[in-house]
Amino acid sequence: MSNSKISEDAVVIERTFNAPQNLIWQMWTQPEHFKKWYGPQGFTVPVANMDMRVGGKRLICMASPDGSMKMWTTGEYTEIVPTERLVYTESPADENGNVVSPSAMGMPEGYPTTTEVTVLLEDLGGRTKMVMTHAGMPADSGASGGWNQAFDKLANHIETVHSDQ
């Protein structure tokens, strides 16, 4: 189940996954899982450095299907409530984690330098409701489509992992 809402400055997506809450948490917090689903269809994640603690840094590289374009983001974990709530900032970056101007990454004028992602997880008795809010994203940024494609990949990855357990 998917439900998307775009406000002027946030993308909010709600999904329900047929997997326990702790497994969905691992998908967001363990690099080996995160790399399998993050990004739109066809994109890969060759780098996912995630220092999972409040104040810990993250550095993610998302690569286009043909590998010709790499998009780096960096951020900081600002809130972590295991299996329930994850909040982090996200900014365009270079491969060393230095924040760069969004326009240097090909983003349109007015694109924010720093956004915030909040993930809320709720146990539904073996299933999990996830609400992801990407605050600061312009409504016309395409973020909703990208996130929904990523969450389709997440659902497929969960099926693979969940059937192995």
14 and 3 Cβ atoms separated by less than 8 Å: yes
- Write the CATH number of the domain with boundaries 2-164: 3.30.530.20
Q: How confident is the model at residue 140 (pLDDT cuts 50, 70, 90)?
A: low
pTM for this entry: 0.91
pLDDT bucket at 150, cuts 50 / 70 / 90:
very high
Q: Which of 20-34, 98-112, 126-140 has the highest mean pLDDT?
A: 20-34
Q: Can you give 8-54 as a three-state secondary structure string?
A: CCEEEEEEEECCCHHHHHHHHHCHHHHHHHCCCCCCEEEEEEECCCC
Q: Would you list the domain boundaries of the chain?
A: 2-164
